[in-house]
Every structure is written in structure tokens, then in C-alpha cells.
Amino acid sequence: MKLNIKPMKKILFLFVFLNLIGCNTGQEASPEDINYLKEEPTLEKIVVYQMMTRLFGNKMTANKKNGTKNENGVGKFEDINDKALAALKDLGVTHVWYTGVIEHAQMADYTEFGIPMDDADVIKGRAGSPYAIKDYYDVDPDLAENPDLRMEEFEALIQRTHDMGLRVIIDFVPNHVARFYRSDMKPNGIKDFGEEDDTSVLFAPSNNFYYMQGESFEVPQEYNPLGEYTFPTKDGKFTENPAKATGNNVFTGSPSINDWFETAKLNYGIEYGEEEIKHFSPVPATWQKMRNLLTYWSNKGVDGFRCDMAEMVPVEFWAWLIPQVKQTRPQIQFIAEIYTPSSYKKYLDEGQFDILYDKVQLYDSLKHIIQQKGSTYNLPQIWRSQRGMNKNLLRFLENHDEQRIASADFAGNASKAIPAMVVTATLYTGPTMIYFGQEVGEPGQGDEGFGGEDGRTTIFDYCGVPKHQQWMNNGAFDGGQLDAPSKELREFYKELLNFTTKNEAVAKGALYDLQETNEFTRGYSNKVYSYLRFTKNQCLLVVTNFSDTQKASFNLEIPDNAFALAGIKKSKAQLTTVFGTKEAASFSEEGVNIKIASLGAHIYEISHKK
């Protein structure tokens, strides 16, 4: 197909294109590859709502630094009731990721319920990290109204979620466990991690852990959990001899405070040294234990697993594990937290993941543009490099690891991400995720304890989440305490997310990128991004303006072959605004006359005139 680009533009465009694509990859690109990504047979546009489960339903507002659950409050499974779930469904959500459900190390006393107390010196935060699992077969007692019935309460939440037509995702943390790991709730016949290890060697294929011979574990000297506060197990020491390797691949008994010192690395049959040696036959014991526990959770009705730091365990393990779990529940989904784009294809094809994080490419690029540091001219490179994988990539602007948009560390104002959120949700067919409170502009302010003042909502401590609590409105879940801008922001998210799940062109349509066709057009700057999404039944034009000060006015050129691909006769095309500010746009000889305000986002439907 031949692009309809004016001669002077064409030379410059091809120069840019060859540098961005041909010279960097060494691959030849056919003309249609320049702008066009084909339709995918996606049946559903997934929208994931991640919640920090212990914070979601908490109504208390004291937010005392290092405060206990009695001082600062803690949300419960029962707080996520039918009214809350109906509000999430109304928002446009299809899947709920319940973060921090599985029992992890924490500074709380549940000994009366048969749960041993954890050592404070290897716990981050009063409430503990949800990624330092201490019993894979149990749930966090903090989340239960009656800790003796904690599993029954979670099973009831799974049922409520399903009854609302939503699906359940929980975390799977395969790379490491809490230093003090002991399962009190494991089924009969299941052995604990390390229970049968030979601790006299650094590595053995049958071991679950790595053991630092001749070294005892030392708590980082500068670590002072809870500051001036005391706890029965806080003494600056933790007995572990020989010391286990630390979760972030630190093979010493003296990890630093910046390491994942609260966790122990699991052994998947890889012997570390000058080169890594794989011992995968017979199947390592750790692999078998992981299969057993995932089968346990899938049998409870869990619909998906967000797999923490998936690339820190061998891809061969995933290739072995995922098909086995799917034998009994083929619809279950596996989401990989992954940060190495060169490994994406391997983890999809060989590892058989369904969905991968898109953090280091789209998220990072959009964040820079929101902060007025980056250029929209970098965006086409991303979807091209992800060709064949776009439908599998989870796009987001917030999660528990990232700074809140409204924080001073990110944008300072949640509305500055409106155009980026439209791109995140509509650029391609893959799933979209938002983090609880994002939809009302939660700024992540305050020093709750371990995390400090960092623009994030803590995952380590007990606290209330102010903007989210205003929406929660003492359990009404109706936004009754929100100010007008926050209500308006939530309406934007509601309109956008529902739009993406109900429009065929977004859910399964092809992409035609208009960026390079228009980059030399007067008024079209590196703060503007536009593209078409289309199927044989629907064609959408998306136009966004990332500038936080300047409106944009230009004639947007849509090449003839784009109309042909969308099955629309150019001479009979007409525009209808279907999302965003109701500013009129119309066709002219020069293209589509676009006027778009700063931080604006418009979606138009292009159809035949009758």
C-alpha cells in the first residue's frame, strides 16, 4: 500500500522511519507496516481494578505513623460488599485484583488463633509486605472479621465477586518467601518449603532454598522497624544459620537495607556461579510445590494470578506449570510482572503467559510526556516493537509500585493524565488496569511508616486512603464526600472504561497510527497524538493533546489507504463525537479540522454519510 504523503514530507518521513525502525532493528519494513497494525480476534476488553485489600474498606482516618491496626484501622473482606462491587462494575471493571490476600509476615499478634508471631526485624512496615508470604495456603487474618473463619470469608468474597459478574485475580509470588515461612494450613501430605532441605550445602537440586555456608543472617544495622515503638519480637536480631540467599539474588548472610532482606530466595534448580547451570530433570521440588499451591487456589475459584517478578524464575518453569494449571481450568489467566522487553516474546510463547506488564515502554514514555519531558513522536516506536504482542500487554498509569499521578513526584494533578489514560485504554486491544483511588485523584501523601513520603500509597503499613475514603463515603460507595473535580474525574474514568469494553473497534480493532503522517503539519506538535482504531463495522478517530498550557488547532491528514482499510469512502465520510469534549470537527480538502484544548482527548466515529 502506498501512503498518501506529500513529496517534501515523504523524504523526511522515510528518513525518520528508517532511523527508527530499519536501522535500529535491521529488518525491512513494508509500506503498510509504517502505520498499520492488523485487527486481532480479541473477544473481550479486560479492565483490571487493583485494590490493596487491607486499605480498600478502611474507614478510619487517624493515619498515625507506624500505627497499629487498632489505631489506624484495617479493611476487611466483608467491606467489599455487593454495593462496593456493583460500583466497580458500574465503573467499567471486569476483573478485580485483590492484592495482599495470602498470609504474609506482619507485626500483629494472632497467637490465640494458632498463628505464630513473626520477627519484627525481618518485616517491612507494621502491616508487612504482601510479597513476603509466610503461608501460601492461608489468608491474612487482618482481613477477616473472625480470624478463625478467615478462609471462609475470602471464599465468600470470591463468590460475591463472581455473582456480580466480575473475575478474581490474586498474587502469586514465586521467587521468594518470608524468612519466617511456616504453613499452618497446608493440606495433608504437603511439605513446607525447606522442610526436607539439606542445609549443609549452598545448592542442591532438591532443595527449596540456597544456604550460605559458614554465615549467619544479620539484620541490616541501620534497620529500625517502627522507629521508637516496641514490639515483642523486636531486638535487632533474627536467627537463621546458615543464612538463606535473599530474594533479590543476594548471596550473602548480610544483605543491605536496600535489598529484599525480609525474604529468602527460592531454588528452582539453577546453580549460580561463573555460569548458571540448570538442573531441571528430575523436576525440582520447588516446581512441584508451586503447582500444588496454584491448583489449591484455582480450585477455590480464583480466575487469574498476577505473578510477581515472573522473570526472576526460569521460563522453563512457567512452560511446565501453566499448562498443568489450565488443564482443569482453561480460562484461568496468568499475568507476568516483567520489565525486560527483549524477554516478552519468550515469556508469551515459551512461558505461555496470557498477559505481560507494559511498564518500561508505554508507561515510562507516557509518564515523561505527562511531565512535559517527553515527546509523542516516541509512541509509534513502542507499538511497532511490540508487534504480535500488543494484545497481551497490560497498560496502566498507576499500580502499587508506582507513584500516584496526583502526587508531587509524578504530575501533581490527576487531570494531567487524562490524555495519557485515553491512550492507555484505547491504543490497542490489550487489557487496561487502574489502581484503587486513581479514579478520584488520590495523591498518595503522607509518611505512613516504612515507605516514607514517596508519592505512593503504602503497601507496608495500616492507613486510610483519603480521596478513596471520600468516594467510599462510610460504606455508601457513592462518592458522597468527594469535591466537584474528583467527581468529574471519576465520571471521566467511568465513561472511558465503559467505552472501551462496549466498542468493537477498541476491543478488537486494527490500529492506524497518524503520528508520522502529520508530524510536519502546522499546529500538530510533539504534544499531540492521534490514531484510528477500526473494524469492518466501526471506525474511531482518537485525538489527544498532552500540553498542559496550549490548545491545538490543525488539519489532521488521514491517508487514502487508511480509509480503504477501514472500508470507508473518503468522499462520503462524516464525523460524530462519541467521547470527550463536544468540540465539533469536520472534513475539508486539507483533512479533518481539529481544535482540541490543553489536556484534551476526543474520540470521533467516522462513518458514511447516508
Query: Phi/psi zone of residue 437: left (φ > 0), alpha (ψ -120 to 50 degrees), beta?
Result: left
**SS3 assignment, position 359:** helix
Calpha distance 369→364 (Å, rounded): 9
Q: Stretch 102-117: mean pLDDT, rounded?
A: 96
Give the domain CATH number at 585: 2.60.40.1180
Whether the CB-CB separation of 268 and 286 falls below 8 Å is answered with yes
Whether the CB-CB separation of 208 and 197 falls below 8 Å is answered with yes
Calpha distance 297→325 (Å, rounded): 10
Percent of the chain residues topping a pLDDT of 70: 94
Domain boundary among 501, 535, 567: 501
Q: What is the pLDDT of residue 60?
A: 98
Calpha distance 497→170 (Å, rounded): 22
Element (H, E) at 130: none
Q: Judge whether 236 lies within some domain.
A: no
Whether the CB-CB separation of 472 and 81 falls below 8 Å is answered with no
For 175-197, the pLDDT digits (tens) are 999 999 999 999 999 999 999 99
- Distance in angstroms between the alpha carbons of the first and the last residue of the chain: 28
Q: How sure is the predictor about 310, in pLDDT bands with cuts at 50, 70 and 90?
A: very high
Q: Stretch 503-532: mean pLDDT, rounded?
A: 94
Q: Stretch 364-393: mean pLDDT, rounded?
A: 96
Strand partners, 171: 306
pTM of the model: 0.93
Q: What is the pLDDT of residue 485?
A: 98
Q: Which residue has the cell 489514560?
A: 421
Q: What is the pLDDT of residue 354?
A: 97
Count of CB atoms within 10 A of residue 582's CB?
7
Q: Helix/strand/coil (H, E, C) string of 16-35?
A: HHHHHHHHHHCCCCCHHHHH
Q: Judge whether 250 lies within some domain.
A: no
Q: How sure is the predictor about 27, in pLDDT bands with cuts at 50, 70 and 90?
A: very low
Q: What is the pLDDT of residue 610?
A: 56
Q: Stretch 490-519: mean pLDDT, rounded?
A: 95
Name the residue type at position 251.
F
- In 397-509, at which residue ranges do the beta strands (DSSP E only) sit? 432-435
Radius of gyration for the chain, computed over Cα atoms and rounded to the nearest angstrom: 26
Nearest-CA neighbor of 62 among 46, 74, 78, 53?
Answer: 74
Name the residue type at position 489.
L
Number of domains in the chain: 2
Residue 141 and residue 90 in one domain: yes
Q: Stretch 507-514: mean pLDDT, rounded?
A: 94
Q: Which residue has the higher pLDDT, 4 or 60?
A: 60
**Structural domain range at position 393:** 47-192+280-501
Q: Judge whether 231 lies within some domain.
A: no
Q: Which residue has the cell 491474612?
A: 140
Cis (ω within 30 of 0) for the bond into 284?
Answer: no
**C-alpha cell belonging to residue 411:** 504530575
Say yes or no to pLDDT of 315 above 60. Answer: yes
Q: What is the dihedral of CA 597, 599, 605, 609, to 10 degrees?
A: 10
Q: Stretch 500-520: mean pLDDT, rounded?
A: 94
Nearest-CA neighbor of 603 among 539, 544, 542, 534?
Answer: 542
343-350 long-range contacts (CB < 8 A, ≥24 apart) are 343/311, 343/315, 344/386, 344/389, 344/393, 345/388, 345/389, 346/315, 347/310, 347/311, 347/315, 347/318, 348/389, 348/392, 350/315, 350/316, 350/318, 350/319
Strand partners, 532: 512, 541
**C-alpha cell belonging to residue 413:** 494533578
Whether the CB-CB separation of 306 and 337 falls below 8 Å is answered with yes
Give the domain CATH number at 474: 3.20.20.80
Calpha distance 461→351 (Å, rounded): 34
Residue 521 and residue 573 in one domain: yes
Element (H, E) at 364: helix 364-370
* CB-facing half-sphere around the CA of 124: CA atoms within 13 A: 21
Q: How sure is the predictor about 579, in pLDDT bands with cuts at 50, 70 and 90?
A: very high
Strand-strand pairing, 277-278 and 133-139: unpaired
**C-alpha cell belonging to residue 208:** 527449596
Q: How sure is the predictor about 43, in pLDDT bands with cuts at 50, 70 and 90?
A: low
Residues in the chain: 610
Q: Judge whether 13 lies within some domain.
A: yes
Residue 314 and residue 441 in one domain: yes
Residue 457 and residue 520 in one domain: no
Residue 495 and residue 512 in one domain: no
Residue 428 and residue 545 in one domain: no
Q: Stretch 75-89: mean pLDDT, rounded?
A: 98
Nearest-CA neighbor of 356 among 389, 315, 382, 384?
Answer: 389
Q: Which residue has the higher pLDDT, 16 or 602?
A: 602
Domain boundary among 445, 469, 501: 501
Cis (ω within 30 of 0) for the bond into 419?
Answer: no
Q: Judge whether 134 lies within some domain.
A: yes
Q: Judge whether 71 lies within some domain.
A: yes
**C-alpha cell belonging to residue 148:** 478463625
**SS3 assignment, position 433:** strand
Residue 317 and residue 176 in one domain: yes
Residue 20 and residue 94 in one domain: no
Q: What is the pLDDT of residue 20?
A: 33
- In 179-303, at which residue ranges do the beta strands (DSSP E only) sit? 211-212, 243-244, 263-265, 270-271, 277-278
Whether the CB-CB separation of 358 and 402 falls below 8 Å is answered with no
Q: Judge whether 272 lies within some domain.
A: no
b/e 164-186 (16+ beta carbons within 10 angstroms → b): bebbbbbbbbbbbbbbbbbbebb
Calpha distance 44→505 (Å, rounded): 11
Q: Judge whether 541 lies within some domain.
A: yes
Residue 491 and residue 511 in one domain: no
Residue 143 and residue 288 in one domain: yes
φ, ψ for residue 231, nearest 5 deg? -155, 145
Residue 116 and residue 180 in one domain: yes
Residue 448 and residue 363 in one domain: yes
How far from 417 is each of 370, 387, 485, CA to CA, in Å? 6, 25, 14
- In 125-281, at which residue ranges do the beta strands (DSSP E only) sit? 133-139, 167-172, 176-178, 211-212, 243-244, 263-265, 270-271, 277-278
Say yes or no to pLDDT of 525 above 80. Answer: yes
Domain boundary among 459, 476, 501: 501
